[in-house]
């Protein structure tokens, strides 16, 4: 016992008692409470009280973590209690059983000694006046009703406590017993203890009970939801465990964690940029946390397998040797000298500047001229891998960019798939038929290709399926098209266009002799058994094929070889030498009919030239004058609007210049004019037939014939000027095929003659004209020149038929 004097006597209603500051506990009068004491001052206060009359003052402190409380750290009101039992567990721990006696107010606190000693004044609760008994009774009923609701949320309250509350109607008892035994926060209990009036206590107790009921209702609702979810998760867990055990018993167990670790090691080995690596490692982490039978595992596996299969850093070394490239191109292709030169120039630039990127080659030409095979040859020249993707008919943007992984059956786009199949980050990728793209409600694939082909964007091309940037800047893109006008403008602007012309007759012969025939002899097992003469090849070219390329020629040669194989397999002969007569025997009558063009000087017939997507074609125009008419002009031949307007211009020019060509102006009033362009079922349009229409019309009205070995092309104006046209190279090839000796071209197209094949320029004379007067001067057969021209027409035609370069016969153009 310390020397500190214990004063428990009452002086003027003030008591001096040992004090224990309680943490998180509030004691009420008339209630028995047990608690543990661990602070030395509190243990000393218990000892002091036991040595006196067992009275002790119990008061709650405001903050539970305060070790040395002062007056400001304690509440104003506490309870004078009597110690019933003390159990010393150890030197630092004492268990105490106390009974609250009366409510008291803290006046002063002496904390200087070994224990706290307080000066307190008992403060009993003020009773209830007679006029407020009804209000008190109503409060007690409300408190009991609220308590019943409280019990529905807190069934763990002991039966004794419930009985004592339900069976009592004493307001003082309830105001002390209920907060002492219900699970309220100590701050709320202290609020009730601080209240000095019984009515105020009951009101505070009712409010507190209602708040607790609301909180407990919310907690129960949340608990119910959590329990439902936990039950479902628990059920799923048990089912997965059972499936896992069944899989192990069947030998189908798949340790996803080991698999995920294996994926993670492979991803780290790729040495990708930090953002991409982090994204892929997150997918590995998701995989490791999944059970082996979850459906999403296959989606993650497919995604990671696709990413790991890409050649992120696998590149091939370029072979840019000019001699090697020339040998490869000459071996695979006959002719096409200008195309080969352009490709060699591109390789030379790459050799001098290895950092050059973003060069996109576009090969434009008719079908069957070797665009795809040239792309393969470029890949072989450079020693790069080759991949081809056809864009014909593609109308879904997802075909280029890929589908997002949220879709069922998602897969990468065609670009990433092509890179993956090439197994190289710098392959040659052929985008075939780029002029056949089309857009619909699923997006515009041509717009998606802008990112692929633009060197400023494809450095970080992001496929929707990968969702990770992939570098396409090292890829050499080669595109092909039949008609450059159908390529979207923004795409065309990014391309280096190389035009491939139609093949001449001699070129077709050499291609067949050097490439097609040996290839098909091997494919049909006829090497050393069948030979085909040069005359037979020319017969196939002239009589059975009519095209800009050589696809039909190859099919026809194959048809002949199949007939030979049938004879050899039947044992009819051992070896066969195919002649011209045998070609007709195997293939039947010639399928290519002569083109309807003027083969002799005739009135009202002029030979025009037209451009089509498969090459140039002859376009004859016929005009007939019908006497006894009313000046009506009739147009037939499936003509388009532009061509009809050209016919109107021709009629106007003829009327204005009628006297110049000996035409009676009255003829336009009393005759009808019929203009026709064979073949009638083939649509035709464009302004370049203007000079042909005018020449045929002037010839028909004036009665002057038109030279049959002369063709022409050009757009006309109202005053007779001849404007330039497009496709001169293809049109000149058509004139060459048909044995035309002279071609009239617009003067402004003279620079385009540089692109015309040398073989064509040797056989055909090109005459530039600037107006219709010059056209008619060269085209119409004047009486003075008619006889001399007819005399030299036969030798010229004979010469053309005698040479190997004589005309192949072609069908009417599809305009």
Residue given tokens 């104003």 in the structure block: 76
Q: Show Cβ contacts of residue 667 under 8 Å, excluding neighbours closer than 6 positions.
A: 625, 658, 701
- For residue 95, how many other CB atoms are within 10 A of its CB? 13
- What letters, b where the CB count within 10 A reaches 16 and e where it falls short, cover 738-774? bbbbbbbbbbebeebeeebbebbeebbebbebebbeb
C-alpha pair distances (Å), 98 with each of 49, 616, 667, 809: 12, 117, 139, 125
As a whole number of angstroms, the distance between CA 59 and CA 85 comes to: 19
Q: Which helix (H) or strand (E) holds 138?
A: helix 133-153
The H or E element containing residue 692 is helix 690-702
Bridge partners, residue 746, by sequence: 769
What angle, rounded to 10 degrees, do the helices at 690-702 and 772-779 form? 60
**428-466 burial code (b ≥16 CB/10 A, e <16):** bbbbbbbbbbebeeebbbbebbbbbbbeeebeebebbbb
Asked whether 147 and 178 are in contact (CB, 8 A), the reply is yes
* Residues contacting residue 460 through CB under 8 Å, at least 6 positions apart: 469, 470, 471
Contact indicator for 696, 649 with CB cutoff of 8 Å: no
Whether the Cβ atoms of residue 74 and residue 101 lie closer than 8 Å to each other: no
Determine the Cα–Cα distance for residues 333 and 514; give it in Å rounded to an integer.
Answer: 9
Taking alpha carbons only, the member of 272, 274, 304 closest to residue 405 is 304
Q: How far apart are CA 23 and CA 65, in angstroms?
A: 8
63 SS3 class: coil
How far apart, in whole angstroms, are the C-alpha atoms of residue 654 and residue 470? Answer: 65
Which two tokens mark 586?
Answer: 């195997």
Contact between 201 and 191 (Cβ < 8 Å)? no
H helix runs in 460-533, sequence order = 489-493, 505-511, 517-523
Among 29, 48, 199, which residue's Cα sits nearest to residue 104?
A: 29
The beta strand positions in 320-390, using DSSP E, are 361-364, 386-390
Per DSSP bridges, beta strands 361-364 and 386-390 are: unpaired
Compute the distance between CA of residue 533 and CA of residue 580 in angstroms, rounded to an integer.
8
Q: Which residues are catalytic?
A: 688, 731
Q: Give the residues across from 578 on adjacent strands.
A: 532
Mapping DSSP to helix (H, G, I), strand (E, B) and coil, where does residue 59 land?
A: strand
The torsion region of residue 368 among left (phi > 0), alpha (psi -120 to 50) and beta comes to left
Within 8 A by CB and 6+ apart from 81, the residues are: 27, 33, 55, 56, 57, 58, 98, 99, 100, 101
- CA gap 695, 657 in Å, rounded: 12
**Residue 610 to residue 810: CA distance in whole angstroms:** 13
Given a contact cutoff of 8 angstroms between Cβ atoms, the answer to whether 434 and 480 are in contact is yes
Residues with Cβ within 8 Å of residue 573, at least 6 apart in sequence:
567
């Amino acid at each position: 016992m310390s020397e500190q004097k214990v004063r428990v006597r009452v002086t003027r209603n003030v008591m001096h008692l040992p004090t224990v500051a309680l943490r998180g506990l509030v004691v009420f009068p008339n209630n028995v409470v047990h608690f543990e004491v661990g602070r030395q001052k509190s243990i000393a206060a218990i000892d002091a009280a036991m040595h006196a009359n067992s009275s002790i003052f119990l008061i709650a402190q405001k903050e539970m973590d305060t070790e040395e409380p002062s007056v400001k750290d304690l509440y104003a009101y506490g309870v004078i209690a009597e110690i019933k039992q003390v159990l010393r567990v150890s030197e630092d721990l004492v268990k105490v059983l106390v009974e609250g006696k009366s409510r008291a107010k803290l006046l002063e606190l002496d904390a200087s000694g070994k224990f706290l000693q307080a000066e307190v004044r008992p403060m009993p609760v003020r009773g209830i006046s007679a006029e407020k008994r009804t209000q008190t009774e109503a409060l007690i009923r409300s408190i009991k009703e609220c308590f019943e609701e409280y019990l529905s949320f807190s069934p763990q309250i002991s039966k004794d406590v419930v009985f004592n509350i339900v069976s009592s109607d004493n307001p003082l008892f309830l105001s002390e017993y209920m907060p002492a035994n219900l699970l309220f926060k100590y701050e709320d209990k202290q609020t009730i203890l601080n209240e000095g009036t019984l009515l105020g206590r009951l009101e505070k107790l009712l409010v507190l009970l209602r708040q607790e009921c609301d909180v407990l209702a919310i907690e129960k609702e949340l608990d119910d939801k959590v329990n439902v979810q936990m039950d479902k998760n628990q059920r799923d867990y048990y089912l997965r465990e059972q499936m896992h055990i069944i899989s192990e018993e069947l030998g189908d167990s798949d340790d996803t964690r080991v698999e995920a670790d294996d994926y993670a090691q492979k991803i780290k080995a790729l040495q990708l940029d930090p953002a991409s690596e982090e994204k892929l490692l997150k997918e590995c982490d998701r995989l490791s946390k999944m059970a082996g039978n979850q459906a999403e595992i296959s989606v993650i596996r497919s995604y990671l397998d696709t990413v790991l299969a890409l050649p992120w850093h696998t590149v091939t070394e370029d072979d840019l040797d000019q001699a090697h490239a020339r040998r490869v191109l000459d071996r695979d292709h006959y002719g096409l000298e200008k195309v080969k030169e352009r490709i060699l120039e591109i390789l030379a630039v790459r050799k001098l500047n290895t950092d050059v990127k973003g060069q996109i080659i576009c090969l434009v030409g008719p079908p069957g001229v070797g665009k795809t095979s040239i792309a393969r040859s470029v890949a072989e020249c450079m020693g790069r891998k080759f991949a081809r993707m056809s864009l014909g008919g593609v109308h879904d943007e997802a075909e280029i960019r890929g589908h997002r992984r949220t879709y069922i059956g998602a897969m990468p786009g065609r670009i990433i798939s092509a890179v993956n199949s090439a197994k190289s980050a710098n392959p040659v990728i052929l985008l075939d038929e780029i002029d056949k793209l089309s857009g619909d409600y699923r997006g515009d694939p041509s717009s998606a290709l802008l990112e692929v082909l633009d060197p400023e964007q494809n450095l970080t091309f992001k496929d929707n399926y990968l969702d990770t940037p992939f570098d396409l800047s090292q890829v050499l893109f080669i595109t092909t098209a039949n008609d450059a006008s159908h390529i979207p403008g923004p795409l065309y602007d990014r391309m280096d266009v190389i035009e491939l012309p139609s093949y001449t007759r001699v070129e077709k012969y050499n291609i067949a002799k050097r490439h097609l025939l040996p290839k098909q002899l091997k494919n049909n097992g006829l090497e050393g058994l069948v030979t085909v003469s040069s005359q037979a090849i020319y017969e196939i070219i002239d009589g059975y094929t009519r095209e800009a390329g050589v696809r039909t020629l190859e099919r026809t040669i194959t048809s002949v070889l199949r007939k030979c194989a049938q004879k050899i397999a039947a044992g009819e002969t051992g070896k066969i030498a195919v002649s011209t007569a045998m070609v007709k025997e195997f293939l039947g009558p010639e399928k290519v009919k002569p083109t309807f063009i003027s083969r002799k000087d005739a009135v009202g017939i002029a030979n025009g030239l037209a451009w089509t997507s498969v090459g140039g074609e002859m376009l004859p125009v016929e005009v007939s004058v019908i006497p006894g008419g009313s000046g009506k002009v009739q147009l037939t031949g499936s003509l388009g609007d532009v061509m009809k307007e050209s016919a109107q211009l021709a009629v106007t020019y003829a009327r204005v210049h009628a006297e110049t060509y000996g035409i009676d102006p009255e003829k336009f009033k009393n005759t009808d004019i019929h203009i026709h362009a064979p073949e009638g079922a083939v649509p035709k349009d464009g302004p370049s037939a203007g000079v042909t229409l005018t020449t045929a019309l002037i010839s028909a009205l004036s009665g002057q014939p038109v030279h049959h070995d002369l063709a022409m092309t050009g757009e006309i104006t109202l005053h007779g000027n001849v404007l330039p046209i497009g496709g001169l190279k293809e049109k000149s090839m058509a004139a060459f095929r048909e044995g035309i000796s002279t071609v009239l071209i617009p003067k402004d197209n003279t620079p385009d003659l540089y692109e015309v094949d040398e073989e064509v320029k040797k056989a055909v004379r090109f005459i530039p004209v600037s107006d219709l007067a010059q056209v008619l001067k060269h085209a119409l057969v004047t009486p003075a020149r008619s006889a001399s021209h007819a005399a030299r027409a036969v030798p010229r035609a004979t010469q053309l038929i005698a040479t190997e370069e004589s005309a192949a016969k072609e069908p009417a153009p599809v305009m």
